[in-house]
Structure 1
Amino acid sequence: MAAKDTSKLSEEEHPMKGGDGPNSYANNSAYQKEVAGAAKELVDKAILEKLDLKVLLSSSKTFLIADLGCSIGPNTFFAVKNILEAVKFKYHSHQLCSDQVLEFQVFFSDHTSNDFNMLFKSLPNNRQYYAAGVPGSFYGRLFPNASIHIFHASYAIHWLSRVPKEVVDRNSPAWNKGRIHYLNSTDEVKRAFEAQLAEDMECFLHARAQEIVCGGLMVLIIPGIPHGIPHSHALANMTYQLLESCLMDMVRKGIVSEEKLDSFNIPMYFMSPQELEGCVERNGCFSIEVMKILPHVLAHGTVYNALVSTSHLRAALEGMIEQQFGEEILDDLFDLFHKKFEEQPSTSEPGKAINFLVVLKRN
């Protein structure tokens, strides 16, 4: 039977910067790897304690893992290796089919415009799994029914399927004129992004519920905000306000058109653990086995270092900025961002940004 059509979502594709150059995601994602490292012990424990033995027994030949929003490495390989080792440990500790070697198939999935060539070139030579790429959005179906044993997604599902259509509609009360995000915008804009999150998570959980085996696990690492904190107080707000001010400077200089700025919004939403919990409850197909806020981590001394922060932001947003404003502004834009970041007072409050781990189990 064909997968359910999800084209109604009008999905956008904004892959991370490909290749292995100085601005690539491969060379500018150390922070995300540190976050995954902070979650490793909890993920190991969840697999050991929560993965059903019948899932392992029924997959005595091949165990299937899928990483959603894999990008180009190296973080996806780090995450997959950790999951694989935890599954093997559980398998051997229970002496399951001791006369038979458990084999692993790993599916690396991302948008069709992801740099899969770079991903495959970077595959570890000593990997203990068979690798395959699966192009497509994780807001729709990607795999056959009841085929995947563990899903993983890290720093992925805060990307929405698209910018809410209301925020770029001049006739809508949610028109987000002059702003590039919802974090410090009007209530109408915030509600539009919240509604988009609800729609997207409904699609995400519905698709995964069909694709995962009964008793299988879904491991999610999500950047978000603590419950009850106003969106305007989110740590990411400072970053996007700085980027927004840089673009406004370029508008005033005639480098960027005001119309293009008014139609530019970053399709991200930083949810709280409680918001995700509500999405899972509405879906009804999964139980929440683990929900933990991860320890704060630092990359290259401090995540708020201007050079590191600029490089990480460029690796994530360069593609969509180039698509909207053209390649010629990129260097000047991020040079200006770097300068403004350095001039900011060091008043960041880590409590207003969190990373949290959620482990879901298919009922």
Structure 2
Amino acid sequence: MINEAIAKKLDMKSLISYSSTLRIADLGCSVGANTFIAMQNVLQAIEKKYLSQGLASKVPEFQVFFNDHATNDFNTLFTSLPQDRQYFAAGVPGSFYGRLFPESSLHFVYSSTALQWLSQLPDALLDKKSQAWNNGRIYYTSASEEVANAYAAQFRKDMKMFLNARAKEIVAGGMMVVLMPGCPDDIHYSQRSAGLMFDFLGSTLMDMVNEGLVSEAQVDSFNLPVYCPSPKEIARLVEENGCFRIERMELMDPRSNMNSPYDVHKFIMHVRAFLEGVFTKHFGSEIVNEMFERIFQKSSEFSCVLDEGDKQKNIVFFILKHK
């Protein structure tokens, strides 16, 4: 889908006029090999586009910026850079909810499973006097509308900042590709598939509260800083920003392409890799180990939760082009 967008929508001649170096950014790169694979795919697609337009002599040099929070393990990232890479690499620490690059300096931006992380939790979630106080839960799926609205409002605020920053940094005609967890349009927040999984984690913690292993105050003061929007929510924010044109937007289920049977134990390991750091920071490693051990023991019950969530497509894929 990215290759198709580059082939059909990216105007090489206009990008050449800006610089002899084509600059690409991966926002929320983390430290895994996935980011290198993604960047290589983008580079190959752009090179192919140059060649198809008879611009072989004008293929530029490439510079790739790997961005994540300053706490990201950039040492591991850079020691594992591919030796045969065809680009200059640089790290850019900092939140992508603000400016990271000079004005009109980027030609292509990529972000995968990063924009679902909120810049901060809404204060109302921890205020006992607020209607959005989320006691006994760690997410908004099974909570009140006030809690869900607080999450949605924070996402809108963050996304506006993200789009405003990228509007200044990406050149006219430049492209941005984003993949992030999402949900179908017009589905009630209580039925969102990702939330069903998070609620299962929360109920496991409450079991531990009832057994005296975790204090209720610890659970009351913890909320996952994650929001899974619908395509309609994203499209509305892009339209309000006014600097980008939506070239493609759709909701996908990547698991539909799996050839092997679904392995619930592997999925639990995936969830742990995704969330362990957030849980450990708040509860400590011993509690987190116990929580996931219990989830493994209840894998059949967790599998039912996944089966319910499988009825929904849960990845939003969208491509924006700077006007």
Confirm or deny a common fold (TM above 0.5).
Answer: yes
Q: In the alignment, is residue 170 of structure 1 matched against residue 135 of structure 2?
A: no
Deviation at 1:337, TM superposition (A): 1.4
CA deviations on 1:78-137 (whole Å, 9 max, x unpaired) are 1111111111011111122x3344211000000111111111122111111111110000
CA distance in 2, matches of 1:352, 1:308: 20
CA distance in 2, matches of 1:274, 1:224: 10
* Between 313-322 and 138-147, the greater mean CA deviation after superposition: 313-322
Aligned to 1:115: 73
Mapping 1:90-101, distance limit 5 Å: 90-96=49-55, 98-101=56-59
Mapping 1:57-72, distance limit 5 Å: 57-59=16-18, 61-72=20-31
Q: Which runs of 4+ in 1 moved over 4 A?
A: none
Q: Which of 78, 93, 97 matches 1:135?
A: 93
Aligned to 1:202, the other structure's residue is in SS state helix
Q: Which structure is higher in RCO with an 8 Å CA cutoff and minimum separation 6?
A: 1
CA distance in 2, matches of 1:228, 1:188: 18
Question: What's the TM-score, normalizing by structure 2?
Answer: 0.94
Aligned to 2:313: 353
- Residue type of the partner of 1:64? R
- Residue type of the partner of 1:74? A
CA distance in 2, matches of 1:45, 1:147: 24
Aligned to 1:245: 203
Q: Which of 323, 342, 358 matches 2:300?
A: 342
Aligned to 2:218: 260
Aligned to 2:49, the other structure's residue is in SS state helix
Distance 1:194 1:102, change over 3 A: same
CA distance in 2, matches of 1:112, 1:351: 37
- Equivalent pairs: percent with the same residue? 47
CA deviations on 1:248-300 (whole Å, 9 max, x unpaired) are 12212222111111010001111110100000011111010111233432668
CA distance in 2, matches of 1:345, 1:76: 29
Question: What's the TM-score, normalizing by structure 1?
Answer: 0.84
Distance 1:307 1:345, change over 3 A: closer
In structure 2, stretches of 5+ residues that fail to align are none
- Residue type of the partner of 2:38? A
Contact residue 234 and residue 353 of structure 1 kept, 8 A: no
Q: In the alignment, is residue 124 of structure 1 matched against residue 97 of structure 2?
A: no
- Residue type of the partner of 2:217? E
Aligned to 1:104: 62
Q: Which of 114, 129, 141 matches 1:156?
A: 114
Aligned alpha-carbon RMSD (Å): 1.6
Contact residue 225 and residue 270 of structure 1 kept, 8 A: yes
Contact residue 233 and residue 352 of structure 1 kept, 8 A: no
Q: Which of 5, 19, 34 matches 1:75?
A: 34
